[in-house]
Structure 1
Amino acid sequence: MLLSVVVTVHRAQGYLRATLESVLGQGPDGPELIVVDDASRDGSARIAAEFAARDPRVRVLTLPEHRGTGPARNAGAAEARGRYLLFLDGDALLRPGALEAMTERLAGGGPDVLLLGHDRVDWWGEVTTPEPGPGDADGDTDGAGRGPTVPERGAVGRERTPRTASGLVRDALSTTVPRLFRRSLWTTHGLRFTDGPYEDVLPVLRAGLLAADAGTLGALDRICVRHRVRRGGTFATTPGRGHFAVLDAYERLRAETGHDPRTEEARVRHLSAVRDDPGRIAPEDRAAFHRAAALPGSYASLLARETARTARTRGRAALLARRKTLRSRVMRAAYRTDLHRPLNPGLAVYGAYWNRGVACNPAAIHAKALELAPHVRGVWAVSSRHLDRMPPGVPYVIEGSRAYWRAMASATYLINNSSFPGGFTKRPGQRYLQTHHGTPLKTMGLDQRAYPALTRGAGLERIVAHADQWDLSLSANPHTTEIWDRVYPSGYEHLNLGYPRNDVYFTAGPERAAEIRRRLAIGPDRTVLLYAPTHRDYRKGFVPLVDLDRLTRELGPRYVVLVRAHYFYGRSARLGDDARVRDVTGYPSVEELCLASDALITDYSSLMFDYACLDRPIITHAPDWAAYRASRGTYFDLLSGRPGDTPGAVTTTDDELLEALRGGEWRSAEAARLRTAFRERFCPYDDGHAAERVVRRLFLDEGT
């Protein structure tokens, strides 16, 4: 047996079920799982017993009295039979695919200690990846890790830059980095967790030094373990003098290692982090802790330097704010002057997705205008954060710049799929085309009154004021026209002309799709599934509702899954990238991804309405349909199975999704019948010529 996972449990009933499932869900040949119930008085013991009753891989040890994490882990290690040991807290998670990655890494022998990549998720759902190193303050092992973090970079399957030998040792001298221990190393050297807080300092750091000296220290930088940070109720979130115990832990380590100089840097970093953590050392105790720890310098001088740095930072921030305010006033004054100058009949300003670059309907209109209305010069409004998205040779102005305000004041044509930030003044004679960026399934505009949190403080008054600026509103189907007319009540004209961004689905031939696949390094014999879920207003960060590792593993190597997260989550789904699961969130054209795919797996994304133009299978995978409808509201029942409402196969669990794909439901005659009705309802205007119709109507003033 390769691996024994020891999970210690005390007051973890709200977390334990997911923890155990994360280990057992690694496959039928998964590790031995030893659950040590540290006399927990909540429902943890009942949950552990439930798992043991149905899975022979699970064993439960019950301690007669509460002993703490150290003794509980020792009890589990004594019962373990695997070649390696992994210790997890009752609120930690073993990430999907972690066991497979560890097994591959350990093939052929493996190191005595294997450091594992990890991340954290807080109670708001925000995921961060801690910087490796002993500076983290998480000296105990209750999963309430604090200390330095960076925005999430790693994810399952993603490798970081290989560590140097010194960096490897540095990480081995951090108690926050999870690791596998060869059981023979653990038993031969009599390694044991100590009683009381910070029980892992001695055995974990000593094992790291033993492996480093023997040349048997390794690392797997794939994210294998996720720590779930609790809001409170743990030792790590309760400040007090109990945290002075970390001083004794390092004294024991010094004695056991003969004052090995490598431990001193780890000690200083760890103790400094504990001192500065408000969840551990109260402000009134920090000077005493600093003196007891014999940390460099006096605490008074350290505090004075920190106070001075804070003052300098605040001073710089205030100066920058004053400069920004002054610059804004100058820009506004120049803009007010430009508003009195004649409009330029040959200038159009384009924008998409709040100035994220060239995309969507405005991009298709711009391209067609270059062909049919070359007398109109188009420039793009783009945020400075997204300048790298601008294709070479495309004119642009940076949002908020002098050139931006001059263009907004003088352009005759304004084309956007969202809005132009900054509060511009629409002039008489300007023509504003609102293209929108999707057919509405979820509630929009004034219909959000029943869900006030969705406006994010913008206010319904601002929504209506924005609609008052529109002269023309583009629509892809009668359903959309009816919704817009009600939720954006104003005097604009509806253009029932179809979506220009969908033209490519009718004009691109097989050779275009083949070229895109070659660019993505996907062979012609692979079945490509595009997984494109939408944004959840009630959830922070992108969390796929499909077990992608299981999906690709059970479907086999013939399948490739392209993962496209919503643009609200940035340019990466943070899932890694391998031969079978490809993160294409940052790929510039979603239309090209659609052309390259054989089927779409989505939930409530408006992409489904566009994809229907291709007449390719659409699978609606909606495990949280009830929650989504309750939090966001929808205009029809996507899961009803009624023709016109449902575009094809419907699944709500991973098992159902796999069965739909393996059993052929996704491309059955019934699915095709539903897709036809869906396409007839939502794609009646799309025929490959929508951009031409819009250009002729807007720039050439031709009737349609």
Structure 2
Amino acid sequence: MPLLSVVLPVYRVQAYLRECLDSILEQTFTDVEVIAVDDCSPDHCGAILDEYAARDNRVKVVHLAENVGLGEARNAGMKHVTGEFVWFIDSDDWIAPGALAAVADRLITADPDVLVVDFAKVWWNNKSRRSKLSNLVRASELPRVWTLAEYPDMIKVFHVAWNKIFKRDFLVKNEITYPTGLYEDVPVGYPVLMVADRITVLERVCIYYRQRRRGAITSTPGRRHFEVFEQYDLLFQRLDKIGARAAPFRALVFGRMLYQCLLVLENRERVAMGDRREFFQALAQAYQRHVPSGGYEFPEGQEGSRQRLVARGSWARYRLTRLGLRVVNSVKFRKDKLQKKVRLRSRLRMRYYRQQLRRPIDQHLAVYSAYWGKGYACNPKAVYEKAAELAPGVRGVWEIKPGQEDSVPAGIETVTIGTAEHYKALARAKYLISNVNYPGWVVKRRGAVHLSTNHGTPVKAMGVDQLKFPAGLSGMNMNWLLKRCDRWTFNISPNAYTSEIWERAYPCDYETLEVGYPRNDELANATAADVRAARERLGLKPGQTAIAYLPTYRDYEFGSDALLNVERFADRMPPETVLLVRVHHFDRSHVAGTHPRVIDLGDYPTVEDIYLAADAMITDYSSVMFDYAVLDRPQAIYAADWNKYKANRGAYLDVFTEGPGVTARNESELVDLFISGEVFGETAAATRKVFRDRFCYLDDGRASERVVRRVFLNEAAQPLPGAGAVPVVHTEQLQEMRSVLDESQPRDLSTSEATTDDDTDISEEPSAVVGR
């Protein structure tokens, strides 16, 4: 029997679940079990829980057949608890390092009914604030164990479930369970303190309470917030049942009810504007139902004034009073913003844009953009072409930077960025599709649809995750970035791994389209003829072996020495080997020179041609490794600056243990991998298969169709390949694979063959075979 059981209700937290689980399972104290309750979560939470349970026998997963809510999920988990003590933790929060050891020590030495632990709120921008528990503890000078009757001021402890650890027998003896609905902590958080004979406090931060920017039910406006009154009705019923032991605290709890409900009322992320009058009236009625028979003393200051207006049931006076306070507090803010607005309106083209916004939306117009108008490419290109086929009634227009209009194929309509036609199109179009983000001044109109296609699978930290790595921020204003992302209606994800990251990195109210990347349809559907054509366009000759080198951008430095010396590398390769070099479009300081077997493709418009033409690829932390893996061709990871990159930029993926092929930290190792043939060996192929199963399972050549049907045709999402069985990869498995020596004999580069997918036409093309 473990000392501690952690009950973890799980629902729609795939972006945060791993951090929560890791924070528990990686503690030095290990005498713990985790009862994870999958509350019929519609995302990948269930698969993530099963993954952890498969590799750690301390994790037990309970899958519920239907969604029952947080309270009932806790009750369901409680049925499987075997530990002496129980800790109910929310699955989007996480435990502080060393917390379990400190908790265990206190549980063993104090043997409490209830252990109260301290916590800190942590916002999405990494700002944090410790709770007020420490003030209560210092003021009261509490002994080791105590009762609420001895220290009644402790009723002010936050009434939630996760800041308390209970003795299991105490919960069973007192028949303590959680109710259904929102605010389910209310009828439990107060009574447990009243009936406990032994309470103790651990005055250290043990849990971090995540303040999500979007997605939490408590920060989602809706009628469900009226459920708080039902929970307080239930609370007072339980106080009646407790009887004399609860009587001294009734007025204190009544005051907490008024305080909390007024906070809910004034929170725009909870009660909608149109419901506020009704919510206030419901609170006034709750006041009359539960006001203590011995009277209630209002607190001093503004809080007391607010509560008196509730007692009088005067919504008009309450609203007028609060409005006056908001006006006073907002005067300075308005003055600060006025000058900026005046300058904005003085721009003639922006005035024209605002005028166009007042005209009706063109229901049949879509504006496309790739890389801030740099051309006709990437995911938007694939969506555009499929929309022309499946939704021909929607007219597609591309925004293009001045001077680059000729880069768009003939017959495709364009508007030049900065022209009146451009502003008109952005203002009137129902659909805006981009693989980056439209400028901050672009307005998301009511009824408009914004599709973010993205343009890569993340290896490095993105969005709010970058706040932990300021070297890569480059002056980025995260607030403005997220406000632009707030316009997204849909956000494309290529796999479950990316969906988790996007939801955490860009915490906004969009629908995730986990359908695969549209741009990879071209690779999945490629034929031998497509490969020949791509090689001809790049000037490759029959018999030449093409190795692509596509490194990523280093935010913290230009022209990094960590990049491969392509000319020196080419000199060490057989004479029929050609290097196709394309550095990141943000960094043109490191380009190929005049070596006869090095082709600089930095300005080549179509990266898909490079993928198709290349017999093998070298990269580092670039998302190209995911795209190229669709072709199932050999890859080598060359990451000379891994430690520096990871520390400065942050990484989700360890390319040395989770990458798609062989790895090297210096040029000599990289050369040896090619000359020996290890890059083409069976171990490398097995590693690549694991990578493909994990990341490329949606690349079936139909991602564009799925996007168009959902976005333009408003069709419901259809079952996808691999859905319901998200591939799981254990780092230990990959490390073991990499440690196994290739049993095949080392082969010279000039005679080796690539391992290819038998189900594709590409393997039939002679030029697709490496080093023939």
- How far residue 526 of structure 1 moved from its aligned partner, in angstroms, is 1.2
Asked if 1:556 corresponds to 2:569, the answer is no
The amino acid of 2:608's aligned partner reads E
8 A contact 1:441–1:604 mirrored in 2 = yes
- SS of the residue corresponding to residue 347 of structure 2 reads helix
Counterpart in the other structure of 2:541: 523
2:655 aligned counterpart, secondary structure: coil
Aligned partner of 1:688 in structure 2 is 701
Distance in 2 (alpha carbons) for counterparts of 1:326 and 1:408: 17
Shift of 1:575: 2.0
Tell me how far 1:573 sits from its aligned partner. 5.3
Instruction: Return closer, same or farther for 1:591/1:464 CA change in 2, 3 Å cut-off.
Output: same
Superposition deviation, residue 538 in structure 1: 1.5
Distance 1:328 1:367 in 2: 39
**3-state DSSP of counterpart to 2:392:** coil
Determine the C-alpha separation between the residues in 1 that align with 2:444 and 2:468: 30
Alignment-mate amino acid for residue 455 of structure 1? L
Amino acid at match of 1:647: P
Partner residue of 2:606 out of 577, 580, 589: 589
2:673 corresponds to: 660
Give the structure 1 partner of residue 620 of structure 2: 603
Q: Which residue of 1 aligns with 2:505?
A: 487
Unaligned runs of 5+ in 1: 1-324
Q: Which residue does 2:377 correspond to in 1?
A: 359
2:404 and 2:417 mapped to 1: Cα distance? 10
Per the TM alignment, residue 574 of structure 1 is displaced from its structure 2 partner at its CA by: 3.6
1:535 to 527, 540, 553: 553
Q: Residues 354 and 419 of structure 1 are in contact (CA less than 8 Å); yes or no, is this contact kept in structure 2?
A: yes
In structure 2, what is the equivalent of residue 467 of structure 1? 485
Give the aligned partner of residue 592 of structure 2: 575
CA contact (8 A) 1:542 1:565 kept: no
The answer to whether the Cα contact below 8 Å between 2:562 and 2:640 also exists between their aligned partners in 1 is no
CA contact (8 A) 1:355 1:420 kept: no
Q: For residues 467 and 421 of structure 1, what CA distance do their matches in structure 2 show?
A: 10
Q: Distance in 2 between matches of 1:356 and 1:695?
A: 23
Query: 403, 412, 415: which one pairs with 1:397?
Result: 415
Question: CA 1:398–1:327 in 2, change beyond 3 Å: closer, same or farther?
Answer: farther
| Structure 1 position 327, deviation (Å) | 10
- CA contact under 8 A between 1:573 and 1:583: conserved in structure 2? no
Provide Cα deviations, 1:608-633, integer angstroms capped at 9, x if missing partner.
01111000011000001111101100
Contact 2:461 / 2:650 at 8 angstroms: preserved in 1? yes
Counterpart contact for 2:344–2:350, Cα < 8 Å:
no
CA distance in 2, matches of 1:338, 1:332: 10
Match of 2:704, as an amino acid?
Answer: A
Aligned positions of 1:118-267 closer than 5 A: none
For the residues of structure 2 that align with 1:490 and 1:327, how far apart are their CA atoms? Answer: 28
1:564 shift after superposition: 0.5
| Alignment correspondent of 1:670 | 683
Indicate which of 649, 666, 675 corresponds to 1:632: 649
Counterparts of 2:655 and 2:587, CA distance in 1: 24
Take 1:544 and 1:494, find their aligned partners in 2: how far apart are those partners? Answer: 35
> Does the 8 Å contact 2:471/2:648 carry over to 1?
no
**CA spacing shift, 1:328–1:498, aligned 2, 3 Å:** farther
Extract unaligned runs of 5+ from structure 2.
Answer: 1-342, 718-772
**Using the alignment, how far apart are the partners of 2:665 and 2:346 within structure 1?**
50
Q: Secondary structure at the match of 1:361?
A: helix
CA drift of 1:550 comes to 2.3
Assess if the C-alpha contact under 8 Å between 2:461 and 2:651 holds in 1. Answer: yes
Q: TM-score, normalised by structure 1?
A: 0.52
Q: Measure, in 2, the Cα distance between the counterparts of 1:581 and 1:328.
A: 51
Give the deviation of 1:662 after TM superposition.
0.4
| In 2: Cα distance, 1:392 partner to 1:573 partner | 33
1:368 to 386, 389, 395: 386
1:327–1:402 CA distance, 2 compared to 1 (3 A): farther
User: What CA deviation, in whole Å up to 9, does each residue of 1:303-341 have, x standing for no partner?
Assistant: xxxxxxxxxxxxxxxxxxxxxx89971111111111111
CA contact (8 A) 2:460 2:650 kept: yes
SS of aligned partner of 2:583:
coil
Mapped to 1, the partners of 2:354 and 2:345 lie a distance apart of 14
Amino acid at match of 1:660: L
Map Cα deviations across residues 493-552 of structure 1 (whole Å, 9 max, x no partner).
010110010001121111111122122221221111000000001212476722222222
Aligned length: 375
Partner of 1:408: 426
Summarize the Cα distance change of 1:543–1:430 in structure 2 as closer, same or farther, 3 Å threshold: farther
1:94-119 Cα offsets, whole Å, 9 max, x none, are xxxxxxxxxxxxxxxxxxxxxxxxxx
The residue type paired with residue 580 of structure 2 is L
Match of 2:528?
A: 510
TM-superposed deviation, 1:577: 4.5
Using the TM superposition, give the Cα deviation of residue 391 of structure 1 relative to its aligned residue in structure 2, in angstroms: 2.4
Give, in whole Å, the separation in 1 of the partners of 2:366 and 2:615: 37
| Secondary structure of the corresponding residue to residue 378 of structure 1 | strand
The question of whether the paired residues in 2 share the 8 Å contact of 1:563 and 1:573 is answered with no
Query: CA deviation digits over 1:442-475, x for unaligned, max 9?
Result: 0001111112343332311012112210010100
Assess if the C-alpha contact under 8 Å between 1:527 and 1:558 holds in 2: yes
Aligned pairs for 1:330-341 (under 5 A) are: 330-341=348-359
Give per-residue Cα distances to partners, 1:159-211, cap 9 Å, x unaligned.
xxxxxxxxxxxxxxxxxxxxxxxxxxxxxxxxxxxxxxxxxxxxxxxxxxxxx
Task: State, as a whole percentage, how many aligned pairs show the same letter.
Answer: 45
Question: Could you tell me whether the CA contact under 8 Å between 1:474 and 1:495 is conserved in 2?
Answer: yes
Name the counterpart of 2:460.
442
Report what 1:477 is aligned to: 495
For residues 452 and 328 of structure 1, do their structure 2 counterparts lie closer, same or farther at Cα, with a shift above 3 Å needed?
farther
Matched, 1:620 2:633: no
Paired residues of 1:623 and 1:651 also in contact (CA < 8 A): yes
- SS for the counterpart of 1:639 is helix
Contact 1:533 1:566 in 2 (8 A): yes
Supply the distance in 2 between the matched residues of 1:536 and 1:485 (Cα, whole angstroms): 24
The question of whether the paired residues in 2 share the 8 Å contact of 1:400 and 1:422 is answered with no
SS at match of 1:420: coil
CA distance in 2, matches of 1:561, 1:403: 42
Using the alignment, how far apart are the partners of 1:574 and 1:659 within structure 2?
24
What is the CA–CA distance in structure 2 between the aligned matches of 1:544 and 1:392, rounded to whole Å? Answer: 40
- Alignment pair present for 1:679 and 2:692: yes
Distance 2:365 2:625 in 1: 34
Structure 1 moving runs of 4+ over 6 Å: 325-328
Q: Secondary structure at the match of 2:379?
A: helix
Displacement of 1:392: 2.5
* 1:326–1:341 Cα change, 3 Å: closer
Structure 2: distance between partners of 1:453 and 1:387: 35
TM-score (norm 2): 0.47
Change (3 A) 1:563 1:327: farther
* 3-state SS in 1 of match to 2:486: helix
Q: Does 1:452 align with 2:504?
A: no
